C-alpha cells in the first residue's frame, strides 16, 4: 500500500512537468527606440524590442487572454481584438488568422505597446 501511495504521489507531482511543452514561436521582432513611427533624431535607439507574433503562438496568446474580445477598430470587417495593458492580440473575421503585438522596454523590463493603429 505504501508503495502504491508513493507511486501515485510521484506520478501526480510529475504531471505539471510532463504538460510543459516548448512550441515553435512564429513572428518577427525589431529593436528600436521608444517611438515607433517617425522617431525624433534625438531619441535614443536600441531601447525597446518590438514583437509581432503570428500563427499558433499568437492564437495561443489570444486564447489565453481572459478578457472580452472587442471589434478591432483598426482592421474592421469582423476582426476581434483582446488587450491586456499594452499587449494586444487580434483574430481575423474568419477566425483563422491571429496576430499579437507588444514591446519590452529593455532597461525597465516592462511591457509597452508594440503597434500603432
pLDDT above 80: residue 13: no
DSSP 51: E
Q: Over the stretch 85-116, which tens digit does the pLDDT of each residue have?
A: 999 999 999 999 999 999 999 999 999 998 87
Confidence of residue 82 (pLDDT cuts 50, 70, 90): very high
pTM, to two decimals: 0.78
Question: pLDDT value at position 17?
Answer: 56
Which of 117, 72, 111, 113 shows the shortest CA–CA distance to 95?
72
Rounded (5°) CA angle 35-36-38 = 80
Amino acid at each position: 500500500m505504501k508503495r502504491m501511495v508513493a507511486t501515485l504521489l510521484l506520478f501526480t507531482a510529475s504531471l505539471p512537468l510532463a504538460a510543459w511543452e516548448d512550441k515553435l514561436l512564429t513572428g518577427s521582432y525589431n529593436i528600436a527606440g521608444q517611438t515607433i513611427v517617425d522617431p525624433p533624431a534625438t531619441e535614443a535607439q536600441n531601447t525597446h524590442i518590438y514583437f509581432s507574433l503570428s500563427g499558433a503562438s499568437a492564437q495561443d496568446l489570444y486564447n489565453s487572454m481572459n478578457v472580452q474580445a472587442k471589434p478591432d477598430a483598426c482592421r474592421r470587417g469582423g476582426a476581434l481584438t483582446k488587450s491586456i495593458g499594452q499587449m494586444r492580440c487580434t483574430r481575423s473575421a474568419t477566425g483563422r488568422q491571429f496576430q499579437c503585438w507588444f514591446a519590452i522596454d529593455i532597461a525597465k523590463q516592462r511591457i509597452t505597446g508594440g503597434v500603432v493603429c
